[in-house]
Structure 1
Amino acid sequence: MSADGEARSHWFDDEAGPVVRPYAMTRGRTRHAAQHRLDLIAVVVAEPRADDADTDGSLSPEHVDIVALCREAPQSVAELAAELNLPIGVVRVLVGDLVDNDLVHVNRPVPPAELPDESVLRDVINGLRAL
């Protein structure tokens, strides 16, 4: 109860406004089937058909916000979480939903183990100079 004797809802914060719990945004899910592909530096890119996301009634406001940010420029999962002020786990689930709906796709960076060795690159440069 507040100082004036009225019961206060725990779903409302005077400074923040209405509070939506992260599990409500993801419908209780903590993982998505595509989650193994969604590390922090994975880049999310909007698909051409993502222009219809604003009028799609099946998407949550958070889904629409993610699509809008990715429409402006490709965003990493970490950037999306920071921009939307949401936990990484929530963003991963929401991006997974958008991938399933073909509204975005995810580009993964090349793992360091698959990058060419520096000595190979030097040999290529030296070979080109020798031509």
Structure 2
Amino acid sequence: MTTIRQFRWPDYDAVVAVWAAAGREPVPRAELNPELFLVAESDEQIVAVVMGTYDGRRGWILRLAVHPAHRRQGLATRLVGELEQRFTALGCPRVNLLVMPDNTDGLSFWQALGYIPYPDVLCSKPLQTT
């Protein structure tokens, strides 16, 4: 049985392993906010994760990853549903996310959950850190 729960700091290495298996770069500990960071756990192993944030105006889904050995079991849908419930409890009126243009499977997944693509222009500026 798979359970969904809030991320805890001792989970970090297992979460990094899921990101690596899914072909994603790790997010540094300093950038994590456990409040809206959920994990799916099966047989005491973390097999999927979703990160969200809320700025008081909009919710954002920043990263969703499922270990390849555990895909097509509804874990991503369950994680997103739980995150959406937490956004709702915070009074969040809208949730946004970014999908890369060539990620047709990802776009189909999000559209099936009711997310609507908008033709907004994403602007980004890399900052030099010291």
Provide TM-score, normalisation by structure 1: 0.26
Structure with the larger RCO, 1 or 2 (CA within 8 Å, 6+ apart): 1
Larger Rg: 1
Instruction: Give the structure with the higher percent helix.
Output: 1
Provide TM-score, normalisation by structure 2: 0.26
Instruction: Give the structure with the higher percent strand.
Output: 2
